[in-house]
């Protein structure tokens, strides 16, 4: 009788264990069925930087920088874009002469003191399909005193990680591109449009 009681208790425990294991497997199966466990697709973005006249883009005349993103990958890329220049973009201008490079400070009331956090009412996340491009125009002559003739150097960096997002959100939550991108270029003032250069060669 004692052996039979132990055998019954053992069988009961085994049934309970078996049912618990089956329930665990069913739960795991449902979880894997509903969870998107695919690895994120690689995102490839290239950037270019050039100097142009504002009239090329129907803007005010002056010296402008055109910072262009190109989605060179096979998947869509989401880029944070804001109305304020900083801190999303870091811009540095240098005057170059025989003595080396000298930093050109922003003019008073230049408007570079941008907002500190992402504003969903003003700012946006732009989605770029594969092969498409997005250009951000920077009015250099409205920010820096570029009246001095000569050679200049410009560096522009895109820093999406510099933003603070509301409600504890992150770039990952927005599925936005999070890598810093930077380009540099040189230019000469007075600025000569490409069309004017072609006319001079002729």
Residues 43-70: tens digit of each pLDDT: 799 999 999 888 877 777 889 999 999 9
Q: Are 5 and 57 in a shared domain?
A: no
Residue 169 lies in a domain: yes
Residue 201 lies in a domain: no
Start-to-end C-alpha separation, the chain: 114
pLDDT band for 143, please (50, 70, 90 cuts).
very high
Mean pLDDT: which of 53-57, 84-88, 100-104 is highest?
A: 100-104
With a cut of 50, say whether residue 32 has pLDDT above it: no
Q: Are 182 and 100 in a shared domain?
A: yes
With a cut of 90, say whether residue 123 has pLDDT above it: no
Residue 197 lies in a domain: no
Mean pLDDT: which of 30-34, 38-42, 100-104 is highest?
A: 100-104
Q: Do residues 150 and 104 touch, judged by C-beta distance below 8 A?
A: no
How many domains in the chain?
A: 2
Q: Are 50 and 19 in a shared domain?
A: no
With a cut of 60, say whether residue 33 has pLDDT above it: no
Would you call 142 exposed, middle or buried from its count of C-beta atoms within 10 A (0-12, 13-18, 19+)?
A: middle
Residue 150 lies in a domain: yes
> Domain containing 68: what range?
45-192
Residue 77 lies in a domain: yes
pLDDT attached to residue 121: 82
Q: Taking residues 100-116, report their average pLDDT.
A: 77
CATH number at residue 72: 2.60.40.2360
């Amino acid at each position: 009788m004692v052996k039979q009681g132990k055998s019954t208790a053992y069988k009961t425990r085994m049934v309970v264990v078996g049912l618990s294991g089956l329930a665990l497997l069913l739960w795991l199966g449902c979880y894997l069925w509903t969870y998107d466990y695919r690895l994120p697709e690689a995102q490839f973005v290239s950037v270019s930087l050039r100097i142009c006249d504002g009239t090329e883009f129907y803007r005010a005349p002056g010296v402008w920088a055109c910072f262009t993103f190109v989605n060179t990958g096979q998947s869509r890329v989401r880029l944070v874009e804001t109305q304020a220049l900083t801190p999303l973009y870091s811009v540095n201008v240098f005057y170059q002469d025989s003595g080396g490079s000298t930093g050109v400070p922003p003019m008073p009331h230049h408007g570079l003191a941008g907002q500190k956090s992402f504003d969903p009412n003003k700012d946006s996340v732009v989605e770029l399909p594969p092969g498409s491009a997005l250009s951000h125009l920077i009015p250099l002559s409205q920010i820096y005193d570029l009246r001095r003739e000569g050679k200049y150097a410009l560096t522009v960096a895109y820093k999406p990680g510099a933003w603070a997002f509301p409600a504890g959100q992150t770039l990952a939550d927005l599925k936005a591109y999070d890598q810093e991108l930077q380009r540099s270029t040189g230019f000469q003032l007075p600025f000569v449009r490409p069309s004017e250069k072609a006319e001079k060669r002729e």
